Amino acid sequence: MPAAPYIHQLSSVDHASAEGTQKAILDAAQKQVGFIPNMYANMANAPAVLSTYLHGYALFRSESGLTPTEQEVVFLAVSQTNGCTYCTAAHSMIADKVSGVPAPVLQAIRGQQPIPDAKLAALFATTTDMVKSLGQPSPATVKAFLDAGYQERDLLYIVLAVSVKVLSNYSNHAFATKVDERFAAYKVD
Protein backbone atom coordinates (compact mmCIF):
# COMPACT_ATOMS: atom_id res chain seq x y z
CA MET A 1 0.00 0.00 0.00
CA PRO A 2 1.49 3.41 -0.96
CA ALA A 3 2.29 5.86 1.79
CA ALA A 4 -0.22 8.61 2.44
CA PRO A 5 0.85 11.93 0.91
CA TYR A 6 2.62 14.28 3.23
CA ILE A 7 0.46 17.19 4.31
CA HIS A 8 2.52 20.02 5.72
CA GLN A 9 1.39 22.07 8.66
CA LEU A 10 3.93 24.86 8.32
CA SER A 11 3.16 28.12 6.57
CA SER A 12 5.55 30.36 4.69
CA VAL A 13 7.36 32.80 6.95
CA ASP A 14 6.23 36.34 6.20
CA HIS A 15 9.30 38.55 6.01
CA ALA A 16 7.39 41.60 7.27
CA SER A 17 6.37 39.89 10.51
CA ALA A 18 9.38 37.59 10.97
CA GLU A 19 11.43 37.93 14.13
CA GLY A 20 14.77 36.79 15.48
CA THR A 21 16.71 34.25 13.43
CA GLN A 22 13.98 33.96 10.81
CA LYS A 23 14.05 37.72 10.20
CA ALA A 24 17.84 37.80 10.08
CA ILE A 25 18.10 35.02 7.50
CA LEU A 26 15.31 36.49 5.38
CA ASP A 27 17.04 39.90 5.52
CA ALA A 28 20.24 38.22 4.30
CA ALA A 29 18.30 36.42 1.56
CA GLN A 30 16.68 39.63 0.37
CA LYS A 31 20.04 41.34 0.29
CA GLN A 32 21.53 38.44 -1.71
CA VAL A 33 18.80 38.10 -4.37
CA GLY A 34 16.74 41.28 -4.13
CA PHE A 35 13.45 39.65 -3.10
CA ILE A 36 12.13 36.77 -1.00
CA PRO A 37 11.34 33.83 -3.28
CA ASN A 38 8.52 31.55 -2.09
CA MET A 39 11.11 28.82 -1.58
CA TYR A 40 13.05 30.98 0.88
CA ALA A 41 9.90 31.90 2.81
CA ASN A 42 9.25 28.18 3.25
CA MET A 43 12.85 27.24 4.11
CA ALA A 44 12.95 29.99 6.77
CA ASN A 45 10.79 27.78 8.99
CA ALA A 46 14.12 26.10 9.78
CA PRO A 47 16.57 29.02 9.51
CA ALA A 48 19.56 26.67 9.47
CA VAL A 49 18.26 25.15 6.23
CA LEU A 50 17.98 28.51 4.47
CA SER A 51 21.29 29.72 5.93
CA THR A 52 23.10 26.59 4.77
CA TYR A 53 21.49 26.86 1.34
CA LEU A 54 22.45 30.52 0.88
CA HIS A 55 26.00 29.93 2.09
CA GLY A 56 26.63 26.87 -0.10
CA TYR A 57 24.94 28.48 -3.11
CA ALA A 58 27.12 31.59 -2.82
CA LEU A 59 30.28 29.51 -2.46
CA PHE A 60 29.41 27.39 -5.50
CA ARG A 61 28.79 30.56 -7.52
CA SER A 62 31.99 32.29 -6.36
CA GLU A 63 34.52 29.48 -5.96
CA SER A 64 33.66 26.63 -8.33
CA GLY A 65 35.56 28.06 -11.28
CA LEU A 66 32.70 26.97 -13.51
CA THR A 67 31.25 29.61 -15.82
CA PRO A 68 27.76 30.95 -15.09
CA THR A 69 26.50 28.83 -18.01
CA GLU A 70 28.12 25.70 -16.57
CA GLN A 71 26.72 26.48 -13.12
CA GLU A 72 23.18 26.67 -14.51
CA VAL A 73 23.67 23.40 -16.38
CA VAL A 74 24.62 21.77 -13.08
CA PHE A 75 21.69 23.29 -11.17
CA LEU A 76 19.25 22.34 -13.93
CA ALA A 77 20.58 18.78 -14.08
CA VAL A 78 20.14 18.33 -10.32
CA SER A 79 16.71 19.96 -10.23
CA GLN A 80 15.37 17.97 -13.19
CA THR A 81 16.75 14.70 -11.86
CA ASN A 82 15.18 15.38 -8.46
CA GLY A 83 11.88 16.32 -10.12
CA CYS A 84 11.85 19.85 -8.68
CA THR A 85 9.69 21.91 -11.00
CA TYR A 86 10.17 25.05 -8.86
CA CYS A 87 13.98 25.02 -9.18
CA THR A 88 13.81 23.98 -12.83
CA ALA A 89 11.67 27.05 -13.54
CA ALA A 90 13.86 29.37 -11.44
CA HIS A 91 17.15 28.17 -12.94
CA SER A 92 15.68 28.24 -16.45
CA MET A 93 14.89 31.93 -15.98
CA ILE A 94 18.34 32.60 -14.50
CA ALA A 95 19.94 30.60 -17.33
CA ASP A 96 18.08 32.64 -19.93
CA LYS A 97 18.15 36.12 -18.41
CA VAL A 98 21.29 36.19 -16.24
CA SER A 99 23.80 33.42 -16.92
CA GLY A 100 23.87 33.53 -20.71
CA VAL A 101 23.07 29.89 -21.39
CA PRO A 102 22.70 29.58 -25.17
CA ALA A 103 19.05 29.15 -26.14
CA PRO A 104 19.61 25.81 -27.94
CA VAL A 105 21.31 24.40 -24.83
CA LEU A 106 18.53 25.57 -22.50
CA GLN A 107 15.86 24.27 -24.89
CA ALA A 108 17.60 20.89 -25.07
CA ILE A 109 17.84 20.61 -21.29
CA ARG A 110 14.23 21.65 -20.74
CA GLY A 111 13.07 19.33 -23.52
CA GLN A 112 15.23 16.46 -22.25
CA GLN A 113 16.95 16.28 -25.62
CA PRO A 114 20.67 15.91 -26.50
CA ILE A 115 22.61 19.04 -25.59
CA PRO A 116 24.24 20.58 -28.70
CA ASP A 117 27.52 21.36 -26.91
CA ALA A 118 29.78 18.39 -26.12
CA LYS A 119 31.40 19.91 -23.03
CA LEU A 120 28.10 21.03 -21.50
CA ALA A 121 26.58 17.65 -22.39
CA ALA A 122 29.38 15.90 -20.45
CA LEU A 123 28.78 18.22 -17.48
CA PHE A 124 25.03 17.59 -17.55
CA ALA A 125 25.53 13.81 -17.87
CA THR A 126 28.02 13.72 -15.00
CA THR A 127 25.79 15.77 -12.72
CA THR A 128 22.77 13.65 -13.56
CA ASP A 129 24.75 10.46 -12.94
CA MET A 130 26.00 11.85 -9.60
CA VAL A 131 22.42 12.42 -8.45
CA LYS A 132 21.01 9.14 -9.76
CA SER A 133 23.91 7.05 -8.42
CA LEU A 134 23.93 8.77 -5.01
CA GLY A 135 27.39 10.20 -5.62
CA GLN A 136 28.90 7.22 -7.40
CA PRO A 137 29.08 8.12 -11.10
CA SER A 138 30.25 5.41 -13.46
CA PRO A 139 33.90 5.32 -14.50
CA ALA A 140 32.79 5.88 -18.11
CA THR A 141 30.89 9.02 -17.12
CA VAL A 142 33.85 10.39 -15.17
CA LYS A 143 36.23 9.60 -18.06
CA ALA A 144 33.96 11.44 -20.52
CA PHE A 145 33.79 14.36 -18.06
CA LEU A 146 37.57 14.56 -17.76
CA ASP A 147 38.03 14.05 -21.50
CA ALA A 148 35.68 17.01 -22.08
CA GLY A 149 38.17 19.25 -20.29
CA TYR A 150 36.96 19.22 -16.70
CA GLN A 151 39.13 18.41 -13.70
CA GLU A 152 38.67 16.09 -10.76
CA ARG A 153 38.15 19.07 -8.42
CA ASP A 154 35.13 20.03 -10.54
CA LEU A 155 33.51 16.81 -9.31
CA LEU A 156 33.69 18.18 -5.76
CA TYR A 157 31.94 21.37 -6.80
CA ILE A 158 29.23 19.26 -8.41
CA VAL A 159 28.89 17.56 -5.00
CA LEU A 160 28.47 21.02 -3.44
CA ALA A 161 25.84 22.00 -6.00
CA VAL A 162 23.98 18.71 -5.51
CA SER A 163 24.01 19.26 -1.74
CA VAL A 164 22.64 22.79 -2.07
CA LYS A 165 19.96 21.69 -4.51
CA VAL A 166 18.91 18.79 -2.27
CA LEU A 167 18.09 21.39 0.39
CA SER A 168 15.99 23.41 -2.01
CA ASN A 169 14.51 20.56 -4.08
CA TYR A 170 13.42 18.55 -1.05
CA SER A 171 12.05 21.63 0.73
CA ASN A 172 10.04 22.46 -2.36
CA HIS A 173 8.71 18.90 -2.51
CA ALA A 174 7.65 19.09 1.15
CA PHE A 175 5.85 22.41 0.66
CA ALA A 176 4.69 22.00 -2.95
CA THR A 177 6.18 25.47 -3.36
CA LYS A 178 4.31 27.70 -5.79
CA VAL A 179 6.47 29.06 -8.60
CA ASP A 180 7.08 32.79 -8.12
CA GLU A 181 5.67 35.17 -10.72
CA ARG A 182 9.25 36.03 -11.80
CA PHE A 183 9.77 32.44 -12.90
CA ALA A 184 6.24 31.69 -14.15
CA ALA A 185 7.13 31.93 -17.86
CA TYR A 186 9.58 29.04 -17.31
CA LYS A 187 7.21 26.81 -15.39
CA VAL A 188 7.38 23.09 -16.17
CA ASP A 189 4.99 20.27 -15.38
pLDDT value at residue 6: 58
- Asked if 187 contacts 89 with a C-beta cutoff of 8 angstroms, the reply is yes
Considering the four listed CATH numbers 1.20.1250.20, 3.30.70.1230, 1.20.1290.10, 2.40.30.10, the one that applies to the domain covering 65-186 is 1.20.1290.10
pLDDT value at residue 7: 56
pLDDT value at residue 189: 82
Alpha carbon distance 111, 115 (integer Å):
10
pLDDT band at 10 (very low <50, low <70, confident <90, very high): confident
pLDDT value at residue 5: 56
Give ∠ CA 122-125-129 in degrees, rounded to 5.
140
The percent of residues above 70 in pLDDT, for the chain, comes to 95
pLDDT in tens, 91-100: 999 999 999 9
Whether residue 127 is predicted with pLDDT greater than 90 in this model: the reply is yes
Whether residue 170 is predicted with pLDDT greater than 80 in this model: the reply is yes
Whether residue 1 is predicted with pLDDT greater than 70 in this model: the reply is no
Q: Where are the alpha helices (DSSP H) in 1-151?
A: 20-33, 38-43, 47-63, 68-81, 85-97, 103-110, 118-132, 139-147
Average pLDDT taken over every residue of the chain:
95
pLDDT in tens, 14-31: 999 999 999 999 999 999
Average pLDDT over residues 78-83: 98
pLDDT value at residue 4: 53
